[in-house]
Amino acid sequence: MSFESDLHDEVSACYADPLRFVVGMYPWPIAGRPGPDVWQAEVLEELGAAVRAREFNGVDAVLPIRVAISSGHGIGKSTLFAWVVNWLMATRRECRGTVTANTNDQLHLKTWAAVREWAEKGLTRHWFEVNSTILYRKGASATWFCAPQSCAEENSEAFSGQHRANSSSWYIFDEASAVPAKIYEVAEGGLTDGEPFFILGGNPTRNTGKFYESVFGEYRDRWTTHVIDARTCAYHNRALVQEWVEDYGEDSDFFRVRVRGLPPSANESQFIEGEKILAAQKRVVEVLDDEPLIAGVDVSGGGKAWTVCRFRRGLDARSLRPIRISGEASRDRNHVIAVLAGALSETGAARRIDAMFVDSAFGSPIVERLHVLGYKHVHEVNFGGKAPDIHQSNFRAFMWNAMKTWLVKGGIPKDDVRLTQDLGGPGYKLDQKDRLTLESKESMQKRGVPSPDDGDALALTFAQAVKSGGMRRTQRWAPMPLTWAG
């Protein structure tokens, strides 16, 4: 009785702490492993933080907790899903869940098999019954359960009607790239009440579709996203990965999808080729002391687009981290002005920004205010203005063309997924005068590709040649915060 009472108390304490649940409920070490891998622990910690942030009171519905994991092979994704299933089932009275995968073999032989395996290993195993078709709380099989379901479109109704107003309704989609859009749409209907969860994972085998849009596309800001390179995981098959390097090459789409967790390269209408982007991520670059520090700012009008400020010194666009302000926070122009003024100020910075170029579409009043504050080295740029080169149709095409040329020798961050996707996002065409015309943001959004805020911000650093103002201090310039979510 003492054990059972203590177990209930501990599980209750894990309601908003799935990492504590995983560490405490299983008999580690297991198969020689001391516990969760680093990336698994990070996902579990983020899930717990999301639960605490929503403060579900058992009555009033909260926003869904959405997590999307794009990964290479062999990282322990099915195991993570099994832990999450067992955590949810143990900590949420009368919850309901559905687990699916791209094929029946994947679902039953891997994903659901992992759920069964870990359910039978945990300290709470005597609370539940589990078999090939269902996992349920003993004595409450009609109200407290989860089950595997085929993702065939004709089975879409199996994903509907799953509501838990006073608990959690949740879905886990494995190998989510190949789950039909219809299944996603029906599942969304189960996220309208209670404390809902929607968790996706898999290899990004397609550069279109709901999974792509959730991790890399227009809905990425609604999800907590992870892109996991298998080589960073503790237990990946190193020998097999080396074979893939030799057989396919690190630049191949096979390697991007199966190891790096990135979608295949875009089609041939892509303006900046994936190979150029990958090479710039790998390249080691040097910066001369007198290289000017240039900032480019793409200003959001609100909504899904973000305000992004990126930095470049000569060939180096990776050492200084970008500033990102969410679309919602960007509606407060005083907040945007304050953040940019902080970056421009010498206070706390070891190097003064020599020039800042700001997109005029939503940035014109911001530039005006920064001038009033004394920052005369801030310049307004009209994307639709006339290009200095007759071979580009407007100023935006001119800057992107300059950036594409620079990428042949320049260096960009390897782990910045947003910049990687943004650089490869826009398509292009030649107009009637054979001038380069870059695909508009509106056109990209219509085909499910997000506004290339980071790409435009970096492109703005090529708006004009800049003379260095010289180093103000000898120490390195301090990096800016990664994100201002408001």
Which pLDDT does position 419 carry in this prediction?
94
Which has the closest alpha carbon to 167: 94, 99, 98, 97?
A: 94
Which pLDDT does position 266 carry in this prediction?
55
Cα angle value 44/9/11 (rounded, 5°): 25
The CATH number that domain 2-232 falls under is 3.40.50.300
Tens digit of pLDDT for each residue in 189-223?
999 999 999 999 999 988 888 999 999 887 888 99
Which pLDDT does position 346 carry in this prediction?
61
Which pLDDT does position 406 carry in this prediction?
97
Which has the closest alpha carbon to 199: 190, 207, 208?
A: 190
Tokens standing for residue 104: 């029946």
Tens digit of pLDDT for each residue in 427-471?
888 888 889 999 988 888 777 778 899 999 999 999 999 987 633
User: In angstroms, rounded to a whole number, what is the distance separating the alpha carbons of residues 113 and 90?
Assistant: 18
* Residue ranges for the chain with pLDDT beneath 50: 268, 347-349, 470-486
96 φ/ψ angles, rounded to the nearest 5 degrees: -135, 135
Which pLDDT does position 482 carry in this prediction?
38
User: In angstroms, rounded to a whole number, what is the distance separating the alpha carbons of residues 154 and 151?
Assistant: 8
Is residue 442 within 8 Å of 435, Cβ to Cβ?
no
Which pLDDT does position 478 carry in this prediction?
37
Domain ranges of the chain: 2-232, 279-460
User: In angstroms, rounded to a whole number, what is the distance separating the alpha carbons of residues 343 and 320?
Assistant: 12
Which pLDDT does position 201 carry in this prediction?
97
Q: pTM value?
A: 0.68
Which has the closest alpha carbon to 174: 108, 117, 240, 130?
A: 108
Residue 64's Cβ-count burial label (10 Å; 0-12, 13-18, 19+) is buried
Which pLDDT does position 211 carry in this prediction?
95
CATH fold for domain 279-460: Nucleotidyltransferase; domain 5 (3.30.420)
Tens digit of pLDDT for each residue in 306-343?
999 999 999 999 999 999 999 999 999 999 999 999 99
Residues 6+ apart with CB under 8 A from 48: 16, 17, 18, 19, 20
Tokens standing for residue 417: 């997924």
User: In angstroms, rounded to a whole number, what is the distance separating the alpha carbons of residues 24 and 10?
Assistant: 9
Is residue 22 within 8 Å of 87, Cβ to Cβ?
yes
Domain 2-232 and domain 279-460 have a common topology:
no
Tokens standing for residue 246: 């030799």
Which has the closest alpha carbon to 205: 164, 236, 174, 246?
A: 174
